[in-house]
Amino acid sequence: MTVASDTDFIVVETAGHVATVRLDRPEKLNAVTQQMSDALVRIVHALNDDPGIRAVVYTGTGRAFSAGSDISTLDQYATPWEFRNRRDYCDALRELRKPVIAAVNGYAYGGGLEAALTCDIRLAADTARFAAPEITLGWIGGGGMSALLANSIGASNAALMLMTGDPIDAHRALGWGLVSEVIAADALLDRAQELAATIASRPPIAAETAKANLRAAWNLPQDQAIAYERELQGITFATEDAAEGRAAFTEKRAGVFRGR
């Protein structure tokens, strides 16, 4: 199956088992319109349905990862209720079952920060900046900003960002645990794709299950999270890939994993 974009503002490229999804509206700092959000929903469904894709890199073109929603289009919603019920790009990313790496190449503001937080792993260019500026416009984020930010950097640091709207640079983001690595801008995408290829080389059922298990661990009490993990371990242990992994270990060779 070939995963393609049906909008000029999102580019999908595949190499091996890795898909790179790139926002391509640099003149607007990759601000997302409703049409782009709808297209991302379709792209995510296609990625989920493609067994050849095992990991995803999500990034932007130019000097921005994403400035979030295109504010100039928000008045197109007839009512706040219609705005509340729109198909949201962060919700789309949350539906992605494959491991996803955010390659934050520049500004990650508002919904762009939420999108990065929704990804499983975040790598940042040394030029990246992060902000939750909605408060300066009279509202707050709605794509998981508070919960994801507090989980990532702690309540006090999250409050600092949410209540001032001021940006932080990549090195502070690294110190706070918002990102895993800070990389020279010209090496960022290569590093993200290299990491995605490493993840894609792992047994895909185990990789997707690890993602689902980690998400559950954020939401369950500890005893329930451990019990849930044990059940998922039993399921993955019964797969053909797990049997191949044990055989490859015994025979001292690389495993060949088929997602079965």
**Residues with active-site annotation:** 114, 134
DSSP assignment of 38-81 equals HHHHHHHHHHHH-TT--EEEEEESTTEEE--B-GGGGGGSSSHH
Tell the residue number behind the tokens 């790496």, with chain if given.
Answer: 101
**Cα–Cα nearest to 5, from 30, 33, 37, 29:** 37
As a whole number of Å, the end-to-end CA separation of the chain is 18
> What is the sign, positive or negative, of the torsion defined by CA atoms of 163, 143, 4, 102?
positive
Distance CA 207, CA 53 (A): 12
Whats the size of the chain, residue-wise?
260
Could you say which DSSP state residue 32 is in?
Answer: B
Output the DSSP codes for 202-245: S-HHHHHHHHHHHHHHHHS-HHHHHHHHHHHHHHHHTSHHHHHH
